[in-house]
Structure formats: structure tokens, C-alpha cells
Amino acid sequence: MIPNNNLNKILIIDFGSQFTQLIARRVRELGVYSEIISHKKLNLKLEKKQIKGIILSGGPLNVYQSKKVRFNKKLFSLNVPILGICFGHQIISKELGGRVKKAKHREFGLAKLKKLNPSKLISNFFNKKGSNNVWMSHADEVTKLPKGFKVVAKTETSKFSIIENPKKKLYGIQFHPEVTHTENGKTILRNFIFSICMIKKNWSSKNQKKMLIQEIKDNVGKSKVICALSGGVDSSVVAKLIHKAIGKQLICIFVNTGLLRKKEEHQVLNTFKKKFKINLVYVDAKTLFFNRLKKIFDPEKKRKIIGNLFIKIFEKHAKKIKNVKYLAQGTLYPDLIESKSVTGSQTSKIKSHHNVGGLPKKMKLKLVEPLRLLFKDEVRKLGLELKLSKEIVLRHPFPGPGLAIRMPGEITKEKVNILKEADDIFIKELKDHSLYNKIWQAYAALLPVKTVGVMGDNRTYEYMCLLRAITSEDGMTADTFYFKKEFMQIVSNKIINNIKGINRVVYDITSKPPSTIELE
């Protein structure tokens, strides 16, 4: 699947590394468009003209597992520079006649790299003493160089940590320049794309905006587009972008499920309807959602009810709008990359995600997915370029099923109101203490247990509020964010003093895995 055939690019061939997306992001951060393709799907005929360089990713396989590794040797005859990282380094070596074996001393974590010979690839990379700390993760190693290659750097236990054949513009590195643990790692990528591939910068929010607006105009023509606006970052950017391209031909539908954050519906109406004058259908479905969720305790049932009801309501209101041909969706690039199953393993289903993905088939609408080339941080930058407020653009992710999955047990209006207030206090304090933007996602949850407390001289018997704050790259894994004791005390006091119904506050210190980010 190749999302864009018009831009010059660095093609990243994925062999299943957990860092492949990071490589693509680093290249884009340097201002150059990059695309990921699975090694199984490579079709060089399609994209040859625009490929100005190729990076081969790392991966969990061994290069000598010939059945699982598909390597297209034609890559070498394309006459474009190739950089192999880790597994990529080993596969270049093996395919060109070198040797790769299980390493006598495997390297995991930091290793000290020593410069042996000059190379364009390492310009400004090493310190004055000719060494650098790099991050390794490998159990195999290159033990014999292919013909025409020379060694550029080594570590104490590995002879061929950087190798090159400058005449053929082929480079191999055993460490990972894309991770932040490698000092100066970006310099290697910068040298590769600008000094070796000689590609020109072509990727910034400004030209993405121009390109995407033109693309929407060309594709949609005079047709109408509908869009499910949630107030989250992705759908907000989609709506603003499409509105810029086709104005009144865009109709947004906003469904108030009653499970949104405090005053979220006001913010959406004020921003999109009043300020930007976007056609917006507001559907107040609070009562319907609360009625359907009565006496439902099971997390998966909750998710299914909310997802299906949302789709039904959306469909009903969309049908009232005549001549609609397109449905806009905030699909992002990571959703499209088929890079996770190189080893053939199937991840088990943890949660049923709520999104509008089921709609187009049922409604026979064509899709407009203008963000399909972008990573989340790029969407945020584009949002700012489109003059959306920082409050919307830098907002933490919020799940489709909303507060329902932050409230184990039965959902009631009373509990939702308590939770909205607690969450609002927590988030406001994070902003006031300049912590909000250091955290990937933070929220308050309401636990379905009541405990005894004492306020004044009276006994209380009220709910327990759980606070969660995590750091993450993409929500797939997460680390706990640790606050200072004083901050926790301020938040806990404010929640208990201001909200009747909560008399105890706890902080969740689990990472993901083993926990998930949301409670349900």
C-alpha cells in the first residue's frame, strides 16, 4: 500500500522492528517525506521514480531464516543509496556475500563505538576522541564483510558496527540511530538523506496543508462530505482542513453521548459552529445513551453498545442530508502500516475499539482520509498551521466510548457528573502547574467502591477517585508519570473539598503493559 506517489521519498522497508515507525518519523522531522512498506509487499515497479534512498529496518528474524525473510535483490540494482540498520545491516552483508552468525558477545543496551575510518555517513557524529555511545539490540553479527566493503567503526566486541561501500552507496550500521539513547543518532540519518541521497527538503506543515487542501478539492469536486466531529484532535483537524478546501460542502455531525469531558460540547459548538462557521448538526443523544447503558457492568458490552448506538445515530442524521458522497475520517498513518505481524504472530484482542470504521460499507460512502499520511505529532503541527487553538490541538487523546470506560461498573448520570468535575479539576491543575504538555494522557476515573472517611466531625461514605497520568510515544506502551508529593496533595484536596461524592483519591502507578491506559 503506497499512500503517495508524487513526492520524492526515503523508502523504509520494514522487517518487523518495533522502531520502524520511529525511523520514518525521524526522517520526516528532518524535513523529508518517508514511507514505510513491509518487506513482503515491496513492488518496486510502482515507486521507483520517487525513491531517493532506502532504509532497511531492524527486525526480530535471523537473516539465515530464509523462508521467513523475503528480500528482493533488485533493490541493489535501483542505483539509490541504501542504509541497513541492525537486521538491515546484516541482510545487506549476507546478500552481497558476507557472513552473518550468532554473536559470541551479543550486545543489548549502550555500547561504545570507536571510529576507524572516515565516511560521509559519520560526519559530525563522533566526539573529538573518535567515540560515541550507541544503542544496540542484537544477538547476531556480521563476521565477514561482503566484497567492496570497508569497516568504518567498531565496538569492543563487534568488529563491523558501521560498514560501507561508498562506490555503490551501500551502508550498514549495527546500532539504532533512530532511538534517543544513541547520542547524535539523528546526525547519521541527516548525513544519509542529505549528503548521500542528496534529497531536498519537501515535508513541512505548510506544504502538507497546501498539498492536502488541493488533494481534497481534486477528489471531492462539488460533492458533499460528512464528518463525525468529536472535538478530539484528529477529527478537529480533519474538519478544519476539509472546510478550508470545500467550505459549505462539508457537514459535520456532532453526537453528544453525555459521556464527554466537562463542557466539551460547548467548546465544540463555540469553535466550529460560531467561530469557524462550519455546517454542524448537533445531536443531543444523552438520554438515549444513559438508557441503553442502564444496568450494564461488562466493559466489552459497554463498548459495543456505545459503538453501535453511535453509528446508528450518526447514520440516521447523515441520511437526512441529501447528495452526500463522502465520509471523512481521521485515519492516521500508523493505522495503515502493516508492520506488526512479520513473525506471523496474532495479538489477542484486548478491547473493542470504538470508531466510525463500520460506517462506509453500510452507507455506501466513499472515504476521505486526509490525515492518512501523517503521524500524530504531524497532525498536531498541521492543526496549528490551520489556526486551531492550542487547547484543541495539544489536547490529550480521549477514547471514543468516553467517560464510560473510566467508570467501572454501572454508568449513571450522577456518577458521570461527579467524574466530569474530578477530571476537570485534575486537568486544570496540570495546566496551572505547566505539567499538561509533559504528559501524554491524564485523566480521573471513578471506582465503583465506596469507603469511609471523616470530614469535620462527620463520617462520610463516598466513592474513590483514581488519577492516571502516563507518558508514551503512541499509546501502545506507557510509563507512569511521577508527580511531586505537593502536587498530589493539592489535587487530592481540591477534588475532595469541591466534589460531594468523593472522599478518597488514589494514584495509579502501573505502566502498560501490564495494565492498559484506560481502565476498561
Choose the stretch contacting ligand XMP; rule: CB under 6 A; options: 145-153, 197-205, 397-405, 413-421. Answer: 397-405
Q: Which of 88, 399, 408, 501 binds ligand XMP (CB under 6 A)?
A: 399
Q: Hey, what's the cell of 461?
A: 461514605
Q: Which is nearer to ligand XMP, 168 or 512 (CB)?
A: 512
3-state secondary structure of 306: helix
Least Å from the CB of residue 354 to ligand XMP: 4
Least Å from the CB of residue 349 to ligand XMP: 11
Q: Cell 482542513 sits at which residue?
A: 241
475 binds ligand XMP (CB under 6 A): yes
Q: Between β-strands 99-115 and 131-144, what pairing exists: parallel, antiparallel or unpaired?
A: antiparallel
Q: Which is nearer to ligand XMP, 204 or 352 (CB)?
A: 352
Considering Cα of 242, then 244, then 245, then 248, what sign does the dihedral take? positive
Residue 53: Cβ-neighbour burial (10 angstroms; 0-12, 13-18, 19+)? buried
Q: Which is nearer to ligand XMP, 274 or 353 (CB)?
A: 353
Q: Three-class SS string for 411-437?
A: CCHHHHHHHHHHHHHHHHHHHHCCCHH
The size of the interface with ligand XMP (CB under 6 A), counted in residues, is 14
Catalytic (active site) residue 465: no
516 binds ligand XMP (CB under 6 A): yes
Main-chain dihedrals φ then ψ at residue 323, nearest 5 degrees: 60, 35
Catalytic residue among 35, 95, 107, 178: 178
Least Å from the CB of residue 257 to ligand XMP: 12
Q: Which of 98, 400, 402, 501 binds ligand XMP (CB under 6 A)?
A: 400
Residues of span 423-442 touching ligand XMP by CB under 6 A: 441
Q: Which of 401, 442, 446, 447 binds ligand XMP (CB under 6 A)?
A: 401
Task: Please say whether the beta carbons of 327 and 242 come within 8 A.
Answer: no
Q: Cell 532506502 sits at which residue?
A: 54
Least Å from the CB of residue 302 to ligand XMP: 10
406 binds ligand XMP (CB under 6 A): no
Long-range contacts of 309-314 (CB under 8 A, 24+ apart): 309/285, 310/255, 310/257, 310/354, 310/356, 310/400, 311/356, 311/358, 311/359, 311/362, 313/255, 313/283, 313/285, 313/288, 314/228, 314/253, 314/255, 314/356, 314/359
Per-residue contact string for residues 339-378; x = within reach of ligand XMP by CB under 6 A: ------------x-xxx-----------------------
Residue (of 133, 106, 121, 137) closest to 172 by Cα position: 121
Catalytic (active site) residue 317: no
Catalytic residue among 86, 197, 252, 465: 86
Q: Hey, what's the cell of 273?
A: 459552529
Choose the stretch contacting ligand XMP; rule: CB under 6 A; options: 87-95, 203-211, 378-386, 392-400. Answer: 392-400
Q: Which is nearer to ligand XMP, 423 or 518 (CB)?
A: 518
Q: Cell 529496518 sits at which residue?
A: 57
Question: What is the DSSP secondary-structure string of 66-77?
Answer: TTT----GGGGG
Catalytic residue among 39, 89, 138, 176: 176
Catalytic (active site) residue 391: no
Q: Which residues bind ligand XMP (CB under 6 A)?
A: 351, 353-355, 397, 399-401, 441, 475, 512, 516-518
Catalytic residue numbers read 86, 176, 178
